[in-house]
Amino acid sequence: MQLASGIVVAETQIGKVRLNEYRPEQPGFSSHFDALDMDRLRFGIYSATAADVERALRQPERLESLMALLSPAAASYLENMAQLSVAATRKRFGANIGLYLPLYLSNLCANECDYCGFTMGNRIKRKTLNDEELAREMAIIKGRGFDSVLLVSGEHETKVGMDYFRRILPSVKQQFSHLAMEVQPLAEGEYRELVSLGLDAVMVYQETYQRRTYAAHHTRGRKSDFGWRLDTPDRLARAGVDKIGLGVLLGLDDWRLDALVMGHHLHYLERRHWRSRYSISLPRLRPCVGGVPPKVELSDRGLVQLICAFRLFSDSLDISLSTRESPELRDNLFSLGVTQVSAGSATSPGGYAAPQSQLDQFEISDERTVDLVVAELQLRGLNPVFKDWERSWIAG
Ligand code: SF4
């Protein structure tokens, strides 16, 4: 039915949801998603038995297995899962751990997300890097040895949109072999253009796959369009982006269910768009200016279970670990299944040249320098890799 405001409201099995204007031009994950029965998935997770978990450990790459490995029943098998996860990671990735740094371009944002320090309503100082400031940040990151960079911004299509990206990407690509972005979802043609300017990877986190929770946390701006975001990985793959990152913000809702639906998303993408590679991030909700506390706490053991479950589910998947987690926990996770880590991160625009905590997106937990993190990795027999990508190797 249509309300006086013009918003279309429909009854579904999960209650009333707002349908946005977005309608996919080509079928994408959203049509698969609409067919998922969330109640059945939730029931499957919470009713899994020890026998289901043991079966899943023998054949972990199926969706039913992921469901069992994410279940409460799998908690008693954590040691077994960890050993299998380490072995699967070593077999596929060796002892290599890729290192990258986020470079914050801007904290301008036209969305309201109540868990984020950049949310539009927060009265913080806003800043977008100019060419000089960008060059300074890049020089610092390069000086620390990094050759892989993740450009991050709030989502502001007019002020930090395609015109800005077109201008800065060539100079960033001159400095870094691997260029990833975490910005607002774009159209397929826009991604194609950015690929021609050197874009290698895009991270686009759904935050939560539970529509009502999503609507409650994303109240204004384009990000409130659940379907537009959900089909972004399809647009990225069609545009030829080499690596696509999925993620959920752990703590917004039931993490087991969010992780399982992300597994469905990954499974769909790996089969539909097999030319792209995939990564996941598993960030836990962190404190920020004006931010909400987690609705559902995820313990350290729960995070270990999640990492191991995904490693066993997809052996070629990159798993990223940011500085949101504590040094002690990160040190233990490095060997478990993680393949990409950041170190010495700043989470504000201009934060490497001039740290200003009031501009941060969220609080960092591991504040060690990159040298200390590298030393820790080596102590654990791991091989820190600053460069493992060169576009000319695959250019025809
Ligand atoms: S999560 Fe992203 S879109 Fe939402 S307020 Fe923060 S920067 Fe903006």
Q: Find the 160 Cα to ligand 1 centroid distance in Å.
A: 13
State which ligand 1 atom lies nearest to the alpha carbon of 153. Answer: 7
Q: For the chain, list the domains and their CATH numbers.
A: 28-394 (3.20.20.70)
Per the confidence metrics, is the pTM higher than 0.85?
yes
pLDDT of residue 171: 97
Confidence at residue 148, expressed as pLDDT on a 0 to 100 scale: 95
* Biggest CA pair distance of the chain: 64
Q: Ligand 1 mean position to 73 CA, how many Å?
A: 35
Taking CA atoms, 50 is separated from 65, 86, 113, 257, in Å, by: 12, 22, 38, 19
> CA-to-CA distance for 244 and 279, rounded, in angstroms?
6
Give yes or no for a contact between 201 and 181, defined as CB atoms under 8 angstroms apart. Answer: yes
How many Å apart are CA 226 and CA 234, to the nearest integer?
A: 14
Q: Which residue's alpha carbon is nearest to atom 5 within ligand 1?
A: 119
Rounded CA separation 313/329 (Å):
22
pLDDT at 297: 85
Contacts of 185-194 spanning 24+ positions with Cβ under 8 A? 185/222, 185/228, 185/229, 185/232, 185/235, 186/162, 186/235, 187/235, 188/235, 188/238, 188/239, 189/239, 190/162, 191/235, 191/236, 191/239, 191/240, 191/241, 192/239, 192/240, 193/162, 193/166, 194/165, 194/169
Distance from the CA of 384 to the center of ligand 1, in angstroms? Answer: 30
Say if residues 303 and 282 touch (Cβ distance below 8 Å). yes
Q: What is the pLDDT of residue 394?
A: 57
Would you write out the chain's pLDDT as a tens digit for each of its 396 residues?
333 333 333 333 333 344 445 667 787 999 999 999 999 999 999 999 999 999 999 999 999 999 999 999 999 999 999 999 999 999 999 999 999 999 999 999 999 999 998 999 998 899 999 999 999 999 999 999 999 999 999 999 999 999 999 999 999 999 999 999 999 999 999 999 999 999 999 999 999 999 999 999 999 999 999 999 999 999 999 999 999 999 999 999 999 999 999 999 999 999 999 999 999 999 998 765 556 778 888 999 999 999 999 999 999 999 999 888 999 999 999 999 999 999 999 989 999 998 876 556 666 788 899 999 999 999 999 999 998 766 666 554
Q: 208 near 248, Cβ under 8 Å?
A: yes
pLDDT at 14: 35
Give 332 Cα–ligand 1 centroid separation in angstroms: 30
C-alpha 159/C-alpha 134 separation (Å) is 16
Q: Report the residue among 104, 108, 116, 127 best suited for mutation to probe ligand 1: largest number of ligand atoms under 8 A from its CB.
A: 116
Q: In whole angstroms, what is the distance from residue 329 CA to residue 297 CA?
A: 16
For the chain, the distance separating the N- and C-terminal CA atoms, rounded to the nearest angstrom, is 53
Asked whether the beta carbons of 159 and 128 are under 8 A apart, the reply is yes
> Which residue type occupies 135?
A
Closest CA to 134 of 178, 176, 100, 196: 176
**Is the distance from the beta carbon of residue 360 to the nearest atom of ligand 1 less than 6 Å?**
no
* CA dist list (Å): 209 to 105, 217, 297: 27, 12, 17
Q: Is 118 in the pocket of ligand 1 (CB under 6 A)?
A: yes
Ligand 1 neighbour 111 (Cβ under 6 A) = yes
Under a CB-based contact definition with an 8 Å cutoff, are residues 258 and 250 in contact?
A: yes
Cα–Cα distance, 108 to 159 (Å, whole number):
8
Tell me, in angstroms, the distance from the centre of ligand 1 to residue 117's CA: 8
Check: CB of residue 148 under 8 Å from CB of residue 99: yes
Q: What tokens were used for 2?
A: 């249509």
Say yes or no: CB of residue 283 within 6 Å of ligand 1: no
Spell out the long-range contacts of 120-125 with Cβ–Cβ below 8 A and sequence spacing 24 or more: 120/220, 120/221, 121/290, 122/289, 122/290, 124/289, 124/358, 124/359, 125/356, 125/358, 125/359
Q: Which of 114, 223, 229, 249 is the best mutation target for the ligand 1 pocket, counting ligand atoms within 8 Å of the beta carbon and taking the most?
A: 223
Does the beta carbon of 213 lie inside 6 Å of ligand 1?
no
